[in-house]
Amino acid sequence: MGRERRQFPRIQEPFTVRYRRSGEIASAWSRVTVINLSAGGLRFRCADEPLETGAPLQIQVALPGFREPMTLKALVVWNQLHASGVTEVGAEFQDLDIKQQLTIDRLVSFLKRAV
């Protein structure tokens, strides 16, 4: 069995986020279900369009107790097209400020306790 290479542990608790390609302000947000989440990124499936490796994204995460969703920058680091036509995507968070990182860390901790 291979050695675990992940920097952050993954939480496999599904929840919904929205994403769109960065720089495409006029584009609509797509709603997807997160497969897993860590302090460093997330994994989700999308059926709309394939997202190529290196594509910059904006991810919106609605959190309980917050008026507005938190918008994060992310970068597609891998993708895998399935026979069903659905693409599985791994995205790494980019340029998080301290407040965003702490919020993601709290979300991961909360989900870890809930599982």
As a whole number, mean pLDDT of residues 33-47 equals 89
| Residue 57: predicted pLDDT | 95
Name the least confident of 23-32, 35-44, 48-57, 95-104.
23-32
CATH number of 15-101: 2.40.10.220
* pTM higher than 0.85: no
**CB-CB contact of 46 with 33 (8 Å):** no
Instruction: For the chain, give every domain's residue range.
Output: 15-101
Count of beta carbons in the 10 Å neighbourhood of residue 93: 20
| Residue 1: predicted pLDDT | 45
17 is written with which tokens? 């986020």
